[in-house]
Amino acid sequence: MESIAKNMSRFIELIPAHVKIVAVSKTKPNEDILEAYEQGQRIFGENKVQDLVTKAETLPKDIQWHFIGHLQTNKVKYIAPFVSLLHAVDSFKLLNEVNKQAKKNDRTISCLLQFHIATEDTKFGLNMEEAKAILAEERFKDLKNIEIGGVMGMATYTTDEMVIRNEFSQLVSYFKELKATFFKDKEGFKEISMGMSGDYQWAIEEGSTMVRVGSSIFGARNY
C-alpha cells in the first residue's frame, strides 16, 4: 500500500504552484494528518464540526483548517475562533451568523459561495440568481467581519469527462460574472474551489485554484 507521506509529497509536486491543496482529512485520525503535515502540508479540510474542533485542539497550531461541509448556523460558534475558510456557504442566514461570530472573536472569516453545478438533486448550493440576490442585498453590506473569497462547487458523481468539465467550466463562468459585477476591486475574491480525488486534473485544467483531495492522499474512507 502507498503511504500517506508518499501520496502527499507526490501531490505537492504534481499540483501546479498556483493551485492550493486542501488535504481532506475527514474521518482520519491525527497520526494520518501528521504524516501529511510532515511533508509540508498545512491546509486540511473537515466536514464535521465536532471532529474539526477536536483535531484543531490537538494538532499543530500552524495548520489552516478549512470547513468543507454543510454548516448549520447553530454550530458556527464552535469553529469561528480559528477556522480559516468556509467552503460551503449558501445562504444569507449563514453568512449573517458567521459575521456575528467572527465579530465576537474580533476577526474576519473568509467564505466561499457554494454553487449547485451537479445534476444530482441536493438542497445545498446556490444558483446564480440566488447568489446575486444575496450579494445585492442592502444587509449584505453591513457584514464587515466576513470576506467572500470566491466560489466552490462539486461536479456530478460520474465518470463522464465532458459532463464534469462542463460543470467546472460553468462554475468558472459564475466566478467571472460575480467578479465583474460585485468584486471588481476586491483582491480577496479569487478562489475557485473545485476538484476532488476523481476529477482534480480536469478541475485544474478548467481553472481551479483550490482542489479538495481526500482519498487519493489518505486512502479510502470506511463509512
> What is the binding site for ligand PLP (CB under 6 A)?
24, 26, 47, 68-69, 154, 196-198, 212-216
Distance CA 133, CA 26 (A): 32
User: For ligand PLP, which is the closer residue by CB, 112 or 148?
Assistant: 112
Look-up of cell digits 444587509: 139
At its nearest, how many Å lie between ligand PLP and the CB of residue 70? 9
User: For ligand PLP, which is the closer residue by CB, 148 or 210?
Assistant: 210
Which residues lie closer than 8 Å to 72 by C-beta, 6 or more apart? Answer: 49
Distance CA 88, CA 85 (A): 9
User: For ligand PLP, which is the closer residue by CB, 67 or 174?
Assistant: 67
At its nearest, how many Å lie between ligand PLP and the CB of residue 196? 4
Q: Which of 4, 6, 10 is nearest to 24 (CA)?
A: 4
User: For ligand PLP, which is the closer residue by CB, 51 or 182?
Assistant: 51
At its nearest, how many Å lie between ligand PLP and the CB of residue 187? 25
At its nearest, how many Å lie between ligand PLP and the CB of residue 118? 12
State the virtual CA torsion across 18, 149, 213, 16 in degrees, nearest 10.
0
Question: Reduced to 3 states, what is the DSSP secondary structure of residue 77?
Answer: helix
The residue with its CB nearest to ligand PLP is: 214
